[in-house]
Amino acid sequence: MKAFGETLFTARIKETKPSIIREILKVTVDKEVISFAGGLPNPISFPKSEFKVSLERICDKTETYQYAQSEGYEPLREYIAIGMIKDFKWK
8-state DSSP, 28: H
pTM recorded for the entire structure:
0.40
Q: Going residue by residue through the chain, which has 91 residues, state the pLDDT in tens, using 9 for 90 and above.
A: 556 556 666 777 777 888 888 888 888 888 888 777 767 788 888 999 999 999 999 999 888 888 877 888 889 999 999 988 888 776 5
Which residues neighbour 22 within 8 Å (Cβ) at sequence distance 6 or greater? none
* The predicted structure's pLDDT at residue 50: 95
